[in-house]
Amino acid sequence: MRKLVYKKILYFLLLATPLLQYSCKEEEQDIALESFTLNTSDILIGIDEIQSVVAVASPDDMTDKLKWESANPEIAQVQSNEPGLVSGIIGLKVGTTTITASTADGKVKQSLPVRVIVKVTGIKLSPEVPIAPGKIRYDVLFTPADASIQDLTWTSSDPEVASVDNGVVTALSRGSSIITATTVEGGRSASVEVFVSGNPPVFGKEYCTITGYGEYCPDEVRTEGAAQNLSHVNIAIPTNNYKYYPEDRLIVKRGSDFTLHLVQSNNWSCSAVWIDWNGDRNFTNDGERIAVFGEFEGTNNGPYSISVHVPADAALDVVRMRAATVDSWGVDLSIFEPCGSVRFGTVKDFDVEITD
């Protein structure tokens, strides 16, 4: 009799165990998702770029799954339609749409905006453009040219030397500073170092100073055949026998030729002329001494003329021409350097703008 009772109990337990397991499973399936948050509030992606979106659910042991849908699959698609808490969004075409994550019954859902753009891959600065004394402007070239977001931030490594506002750089004091443009989208950047010298401050490394004394002077310095010719005629001896004439500018093109004319103040003079072709703010490089006139004592005062060739690789910059007329007695123009103090001589500087 006792054995029969044991058999009945065992039989009951065997039947009840699957029911208990089934009941537990039913309880697990009944844990509904109450709310969820997304790990981002919006999506900004490029064409063919994929970005993941993660949903953090509450309660964390819920058994519901989320489905993900795009309001406009031609602009951005959900990469996988399998229900889950993580989804990949791929951009297909420039535009905006909305991605929605929701439970199967639609009672709990959230949406986020998606913008698909042409992303910036790089930028570079164009050559500087002089816009006023002590002011230059840099324009930015984007790659690709049709990048959707072309907003920039500008910074100066030393704002006491040079400030920058939307690409316009202002010279403030002697020194150097690095000007940097950075894209708001993508953080791409390009930089250029600017040099400030002079008083009032102007851009460019400072050319060496020179002074002199005496009555020897380049009275006339003129050109023919340039893109814009220089026509300087002034017999007055400047203070300390040196002067910079920014109002008299010569404009030449790379690889072109022009004729230089010079008239000295008297017969007992000799002259030399330099142009800083490479823009390094000195006149010491090969080919930068472009003319030597009246090397022998007692020769006439001119006019002298010479054909000048602009190097094909000359710097695209505003550089200096320096013309010096000195006493021809005891001066070797082949080694004469246009810096420091000049015995019986006068030096004049002019701007030379080199273009393509």
Reading the block at residue 191, the tokens are 């930089």
Q: Is 13 part of any domain?
A: no
Same domain membership, residue 305 and residue 173: no
8 Å CB contact between 252 and 290: no
> Do 283 and 289 touch, CB atoms closer than 8 A?
yes
First to last CA, the chain: 116
In the listed set 94, 117, 140, which residue is the last one of a domain according to the structure?
A: 117
The SS3 of residue 2 is helix
Tokens 């919006």 belong to residue = 42
Q: How many domains does the chain have?
A: 3
β-pair type (340-342, 231-233)? unpaired
Q: Do 229 and 326 belong to one domain?
A: yes
In a domain, 276, yes or no: yes
Residues near 345 by beta carbon (within 8 Å), at least 6 away in sequence: 212, 213, 214, 216, 241, 324, 325, 326, 327
Cα 312 off chain centre by: 25
- CB atoms inside a 10 Å sphere around CB 40: 11
User: Among the three residues 91, 117, 143, which one is the final residue of a domain in this structure?
Assistant: 117
**What's the CATH code of the domain at 257?**
2.70.50
**Is residue 184 a part of any domain in this protein?**
yes
Residues 264/218, Cβ–Cβ less than 8 Å: yes
**Do 158 and 173 lie in a common domain?**
yes
Query: Are 243 and 170 contained in the same domain?
Result: no
Within this chain, do residues 218 and 351 fall inside the same structural domain, yes or no?
yes
* 237 shares a domain with 323: yes
pLDDT digit string (tens) for the chain, length 356 residues? 545 444 554 444 444 455 445 444 445 555 777 788 888 999 999 999 999 898 877 776 566 678 889 999 999 999 865 667 778 999 999 999 999 988 878 888 889 999 999 999 999 999 889 898 889 999 999 999 999 999 999 999 999 999 999 999 999 987 889 999 999 999 999 999 898 876 678 887 778 878 888 889 999 999 999 999 999 999 889 998 999 998 999 999 999 999 999 999 988 888 999 999 998 888 989 999 999 988 665 566 778 999 999 999 999 888 999 999 998 876 776 667 788 888 788 999 999 999 99
What CATH number is attached to the domain comprising 177? 2.60.40.1080
| 165 and 188 share one domain | yes
> Within a domain: residue 8?
no
CA distance 283 to 275: 7
For the full predicted model, state whether its pTM sits above 0.85. Answer: no
Specify whether the CB–CB gap between 84 and 54 falls below 8 A.
Answer: no
Q: Is residue 1 part of a domain?
A: no
241 assigned to some structural domain: yes
Task: Let me know: does 46 contact 91? Beta carbons within 8 Å.
Answer: yes
For residue 222, is it within any domain? Answer: yes
Regarding whether 286 and 182 lie in a shared domain, the answer is no
Looking at the structure, do residues 233 and 291 belong to the same domain, yes or no? yes
H or E element at residue 245: strand 242-253
Residue numbers of the domain that contains 42: 36-117
Amino acid sitting at position 31: I
Residues 236 and 306 in one domain: yes
Same domain? For 151 and 274 the reply is: no
The pair phi, psi for residue 149, each rounded to 5°, is: -115, 110
* Domain stops at, among 117, 144, 166: 117
Q: Does residue 5 lie within any of the structural domains?
A: no
Same domain flag for 134 and 245: no
